[in-house]
Amino acid sequence: MGARPIPLFWRLFIPNATVLGVACVVLIVEPANGRVPALVGGLTVMVAANLLLIRRAVTPLTRLTALMRRVDPLHPGERIPLLGPSSEVTVLAEAFNDMLDRLEAERRDSGLRALSEREAERRRLAAELHDEVGQMLTAASLQTARLAARTPPDVRPDAEALRDTIDETVEQVRTIARQLRPEALDALGLVPALTNLTERVGEQTGLRFERSLARDLPELTPDGELVIYRVAQEAITNAIRHANPQTVEVVLRAERTCVTLEVRDDGRGIAGPNGNGTGIRTMRERALTVGATLDVLPQRHGGTTVRLRVDVEDL
Ligand SMILES: Nc1ncnc2c1ncn2[C@@H]1O[C@H](COP(=O)(O)OP(=O)(O)OP(=O)(O)O)[C@@H](O)[C@H]1O
Ligand SMILES: [Mg+2]
């Protein structure tokens, strides 16, 4: 900060001393001599002048306190405007803003670390499920098929039913492994991965998905792509679990400096504050790691929109 701040002590003392001095001068020039109305009038003017001057000095402090109370780590970016003459309050506000910068940067870094650790763990689990459990179940299915072919006709239906159950389990293990690790994202990129996701969920649930996925996206980092994919996944899961919709729309738009994902459902709509579940909270935390913003909005004609805006310049 350039100019030396005027200490708060002087900013309070000088107006008070001025008001008292002026009152004294007035009394010397025109003594009240027991005239009550003149004394009451003078006192009222003094108190009013004092109130205005002190209020001017402490208003920035009140604003600072209000913002300090409002700061929400899940909605970063809010800062105290450094208005008015340089004073202890503006220095305090500046220090507070700097502290918020540091805290937000730290939160973003630790979020990013947690995100990559979580993703690494998911990949490991997915690989183990696919390679170990999946392989063993596939072998068991083949063995059962061979067994079914050699069993007497009266037990063959049971053996075949057992093989079908094992096949279904293999499919389920594959599905879980796929959800744990978005392979398509690694192999094909964001748009095909979102297409795969919506097609697969559409087949599983019978829901109608409408896609509008821009292909000419600005270049996103792998973290940015992963956050978009995971937010879409959770928003779709929420729509299925809570909204009972007819249609879910997934929109990916490229604007000048940002990429926007919207998942809109036409279901029963979201009621009240919605930050309590782990799903929405995790979406917000993921968004923070890449400097994106996440909004969960009720739609005007019912249903819910989840909107993620990823600033490409931040990535
Ligand atoms: N698309 C939606 N339509 C209607 N209500 C919704 C929708 N998405 C979320 N909600 C409401 O918001 C709440 C919080 O959602 P959130 O994803 O955080 O938690 P959850 O889905 O209940 O549990 P989980 O931690 O497994 O995700 C839900 O319990 C639900 O009541
Ligand atoms: Mg959820």
How do residues 71-111 score in pLDDT, each as one tens digit?
Answer: 887 788 888 777 777 777 788 888 989 999 999 889 888 88
Predicted TM-score of the model (pTM): 0.67
Q: Which of 49-53, 113-117, 209-213, 236-240 has the largest mean confidence?
A: 209-213
From the CA of 304, give the closest atom in ligand 1. 1
Distance, in Å, from the CA atom of 247 to the CA atom of 266, rounded to the nearest integer, reads 6
Residue 303: the pLDDT is: 94
Decide whether any atom of ligand 1 lies within 6 Å of the 241 Cβ. Answer: yes
Decide whether any atom of ligand 1 lies within 6 Å of the 265 Cβ. Answer: yes
Q: What is the pLDDT of residues 289-311, one digit of tens each?
A: 888 999 999 988 889 999 999 99
- Name the percent of the chain in helix, strand, coil, to the closest 5: 65, 10, 25
Decide whether any atom of ligand 1 lies within 6 Å of the 242 Cβ. Answer: yes
b or e along 136-156 (b: 16 or more beta carbons within 10 Å of the residue's beta carbon)? ebeebbeebeeebeeeeeeee
CATH class of the domain defined by 184-315: alpha beta
> Which protein residue's CA is at the shortest distance from atom 26 of ligand 1?
279
**Residue 130: band (very low, low, confident or very high) from pLDDT cuts 50, 70, 90:** confident
Q: What is the pLDDT of residues 20-43, one digit of tens each?
A: 888 888 878 877 666 778 778 878
Residue 176: the pLDDT is: 87
Cα of 280 to ligand 1 centre, how many Å? Answer: 7
> Which protein residue's CA is at the shortest distance from atom 10 of ligand 1?
270
Q: What is the pLDDT of residues 256-286, one digit of tens each?
A: 889 999 999 999 998 866 556 788 988 988 8
Nearest ligand, CA 248? 1
From the CA of 306, give the closest atom in ligand 1. 1
Question: In angstroms, what CA-CA distances link 210 with 13, 17, 82, 244, 247?
Answer: 67, 72, 47, 16, 7
Tell me the average pLDDT across 139-161: 91
Residue 223: the pLDDT is: 86
Residue 247: the pLDDT is: 96
From the CA of 278, give the closest atom in ligand 1. 25
> Which protein residue's CA is at the shortest distance from atom 24 of ligand 1?
279
Q: What is the pLDDT of residues 185-206, one digit of tens each?
A: 878 899 999 999 999 899 988 9
> Which protein residue's CA is at the shortest distance from atom 19 of ligand 1?
277
Mean pLDDT of the residues in the chain:
86
The C-alpha angle with vertex 107 and arms to 103 and 111, in degrees rounded to 5, equals 175
Decide whether any atom of ligand 1 lies within 6 Å of the 285 Cβ. Answer: no
Percent of the chain with pLDDT over 90: 34
Q: Quick check: 159 pLDDT over 60?
A: yes
Residue 1: the pLDDT is: 45
Decide whether any atom of ligand 1 lies within 6 Å of the 294 Cβ. Answer: no
Q: Quick check: 4 pLDDT over 70?
A: no
Q: CATH 3.30.565.10: which residues of the chain?
A: 184-315
Cα of 239 to ligand 1 centre, how many Å? Answer: 8
Pocket perturbation via mutation, ligand 1, pick of 236, 270, 295, 304 by most ligand atoms within 8 A of CB: 270
